[in-house]
Amino acid sequence: MTPTPADLDRIANWPLTLPIHYTQLMTYVRGLWQGTGKWDRSEGYYELHATEDDEEVLDSLRDNAVFWGTCWESSNRHGTHVFRTPS
């Protein structure tokens, strides 16, 4: 599904005050994600393999400073991005 500007704004401004909010955000992102990935909610581990269509979603995650600062673990030039959310 192609994200709308409203989807992207929602991701960038998602409130993250409780651990469950991170899981809810990643569930929302999964509905928009075009690439593949490992979505292990029970462990809070997300290894996302981005396609060109996912760049806007990634930019919105990056714009959410609380999410990116808390959860981002690594990215590589092949489009793999690893996040770990609080449990």
Provide the residue-wise pLDDT of the chain in tens; the chain has 87 residues: 789 999 999 999 999 999 999 999 999 999 999 999 999 988 999 999 999 999 999 999 999 999 999 999 999 998 999 999 998
Q: Residues with Cβ < 8 Å from 79, sequence gap 6 or more?
A: 35, 49, 50, 51
Sign of torsion, CA 20 10 84 27? positive
Number of domains comprising the chain: 1
Token pair, residue 87, equals 């449990």
| Structural domain span for residue 11 | 5-84
Token pair, residue 16, equals 């993250």
Model pTM score: 0.93
